[in-house]
Structure 1
């Protein structure tokens, strides 16, 4: 004899969708050190050549270029700590965003009332994705490229459709 599944508040609903999005960074920490070493060496050699020609103030400007590059990469690495987690069950859609500083913000909605809105450019493809519910609009998946956003949007739309149809329990 088959038993009815427990639908009480303590039951765990199956996840219909789960994704963790992080910004893509092509350069590792070791790659950063190698790049700064190469650029620093080239700048030092060029600056030394100018110094020997008598244009010694130029030497400092080559050092500023290397410093600016290092600061830009440090900011990029700090932003790489950002993440976005999107999970959905039949009764709850949760978006949890973690900033580069570690601050966490959550947005929770009923998936029956959530609509996925796309901002599409005719040449570039999907530029932005928004979750819209109860007059609130939340931008999601900003880390992804246009093709990745399209794939992500299709998967999320399928999960939203599954949530609208209701849980499929097979006793």
Structure 2
């Protein structure tokens, strides 16, 4: 997961709106493609050695079962890597909140909200921390950071809360 990043302080560039907050969220995966290859080679080697041992003892069907195990592990990792393609992009400006959600298949859904009418709802469980984070505007809600760890979700909540309060308070634009 790319940690939520707060945009630099707003800079007035003519009529362009300052960005109050930007976050690009991605699910964390500890195993990269190289690590996956190493794990699969080790699993395949162990399965081949064990399967060959059973084959030499006369239990030839076990050799195929070890092959199916390797195939099942490979498939599970592939599905895990596929789900890692999901992401969320959140941008807050003084007049617009944009939440872009991209699912693992690449389908995108975008929600746009006015920050003046948007509130941040937090669902917490005392023993487990922040469990759910929703941006609600005029009855519609969008869950954000659903795949994040609790501490990362709290960091996102702090950043979004700060950006929302800044947008509601109003951004001072200086005329040079």
TM-score strictly above 0.5: yes
Distance 2:125 2:54 in 1: 48
For residue 134 of structure 1, what is the aligned residue in structure 2?
A: 138
SS in 2 for 1:62: helix
For residue 114 of structure 1, what is the aligned residue in structure 2?
A: 118
Show structure 2 runs of 5+ residues with no match: 1-11
For residue 19 of structure 1, what is the aligned residue in structure 2?
A: 23
For residue 67 of structure 1, what is the aligned residue in structure 2?
A: 71
C-alpha deviation, 1:72, in angstroms: 0.9
Task: Give the alignment of 1:90-101 within 5 angstroms.
Answer: 90-101=94-105
C-alpha deviation, 1:6, in angstroms: 9.3
What value does the CA root-mean-square deviation take over the aligned residues? 1.5
Higher relative contact order (CA 8 A, sep 6+): 1
Distance 1:46 1:98 in 2: 42
Runs of 4+ with >6 A deviation? none
SS in 2 for 1:96: strand
SS in 1 for 2:116: helix
Find the partner of 2:165 among 157, 161, 164: 161
SS in 1 for 2:16: coil
- Asked if 1:57 is matched to 2:58, the reply is no
TM-score for the superposition, normalised by structure 1: 0.91
Show structure 1 runs of 5+ residues with no match: none
* Segment drifting more, 48-57 vs 26-35: 48-57
Distance 1:120 1:64 in 2: 42
Distance 2:161 2:68 in 1: 49
Number of matched pairs: 164
SS in 2 for 1:151: helix
Distance 1:125 1:68 in 2: 35
C-alpha deviation, 1:103, in angstroms: 1.3
